Amino acid sequence: MAPKLDIKTYQGNIINNKLVPTPTTRHSLDPATDQPLYEVPVATKEDLDAAVNAARKAFKPWSLKPFSERANLILKFADAIESCRDDFEQLLTQEQGKPLTLSKTETDCALLWLRTFATMQIKDEVLVEDDEKIIYSTHPPIGVCAGIVPWNWPILLGVGKLGPALITGNTFIMKPSPYTPYCDLKLGELAMDIFPPGVVQVLSGDDNLGPWITEHPGIDKVAFTGSIATGKLVAASCAKTLKRYVLELGGNDAAIVCEDVDIDKCLPKIAMMSFLNSGQICMLTKRIYIHESIYDTFRDKMVDFTKSNIKTGAGTEKDVVVGPVQNKMQFDKVKDMYSQIEAQRWKTALAGSVGESRNGYFITPAIIDNPPEDSRIVQEEPFGPIVPLLKWRNEDDAIDRANALKTGLGASVWSKDLDRAERMARRLEAGRCRLAGTRNLGLVWSGGWRV
């Protein structure tokens, strides 16, 4: 029988393999009901200092462990998560709002990532070798790493920061989003039984904790996923102590659909990649450029598919694809974007709606029909279930428009002619470009072109 997680009780932050209570607690809200969830700790500066001191003390012995020992502990951690996956998936849907099916996918991906990280040994590279000398390039661990985790993928992006830090010999402090602290705290509780003290620690806090982390002189590197605006603050804060940082920020990914595609085959993938997780994924398709010769057919079929297959509701309901928007702040931002439909007289292929009549933060998908290129829905990332369809006539025009924004996280090209698709993809200014719906694999490097 699989072990059970107590998903309702949070006795403290995970510091040096102990549960450390705090003077103050807080709770997050279930986005499907707008009702309070469970009380969690609010870290103090003293808690952060204690965690950093423990991480620094643990760094040397951890970094000197053989790669195989670190890998085996990461694999053991993955096994522990898998043994409790039903509880994690229930808790993830409760705190984040995503459908249970997507919570299962997130858990699957997190396990794949951890097990992949356990194979990723970065070996020394011989640059020069002759009778007189050997010159190596090495990649030593740098010390204490911190991960600031967003609210859209708390498990996946939590382990996505933890795994690379640990396998390369660093110690790690995780800060969950105040909106979604629960799963990450439970990850920390599992880690207490697997890793040596100080190697993995989890601190839940309020909005003060992030700046304390980025400014702390005892932290050597910060990995942050979140908005462009907050990313700028993180970069400026890290600069005060000249610590390294990795930022994974907003996206406004373009999909270019060529005239030769099999619409019935590619459209379900494109539609799902527009509305998955209620549009709250940085690398979702946010702009769909469709060749003018197939535009009307594609638009009408996308509307029909969305009406028939993309159900909105609580994540625990059967066949739901679009759960609630995760929090009130984001709900209001998406509502504001929806208000522009009428204010700017955008033509809609599918109007969508904002669920003001029920508890929770529900918004149904909207499809905007060929809005102006300078409109907000094209220029800004909505981070909600709303997507514009746009016409293009020639490749140069489509590529120039796809490249016109400040963001360059991802993109996709859809064509039966893979040579053509690759040629177009090489001109797109995006960190990762999919051809005809191919998926990223665990060992593929991923990053943004710009912000």
Active site (catalytic) residues: 248
Q: In 176-319, at which residue ranges do the beta strands (DSSP E only) sit? A: 200-202, 221-225, 244-248, 253-257, 285-291, 311-312
Q: How far apart are CA 186 and CA 202, in angstroms?
A: 9
Residue 217 structure tokens: 């002189």
Identify whether the C-beta of residue 88 lies closer than 8 Å to the C-beta of residue 96.
no
Q: What count of other Cβ atoms lies within 10 Å of the Cβ of residue 106?
A: 24
Q: What phi, psi does 127 have (nearest 5°)?
A: -90, -40
Q: How far apart are CA 124 and CA 130, in angstroms?
A: 17
Q: How far apart are CA 416 and CA 20, in angstroms?
A: 57
Sign (positive or negative) of CA dihedral 176, 182, 186, 187 = negative
Nearest to 413 by CA among 257, 252, 266, 282: 257
Which DSSP symbol is given to 276?
G
Distances (CA, A) of 159 to 81, 92, 246, 409: 11, 14, 15, 20
Q: What count of other Cβ atoms lies within 10 Å of the Cβ of residue 433?
A: 22
State whether residue 143 is helix, strand or coil. coil
What is the CA 2 to chain-centroid distance, rounded? 28
Nearest to 143 by CA among 216, 91, 236, 76: 216
Would you call 91 exposed, middle or buried from its count of C-beta atoms within 10 A (0-12, 13-18, 19+)?
A: buried
Q: How far apart are CA 233 and CA 127, in angstroms?
A: 38
Q: How far apart are CA 274 and CA 196, in angstroms?
A: 42
Q: How far apart are CA 267 and CA 33, in angstroms?
A: 32
Identify whether the C-beta of residue 362 lies closer than 8 Å to the C-beta of residue 262.
no
Q: Residue with structure tokens 């909105």? A: 312
Residue 107 structure tokens: 């858990």
State whether residue 1 is helix, strand or coil. coil
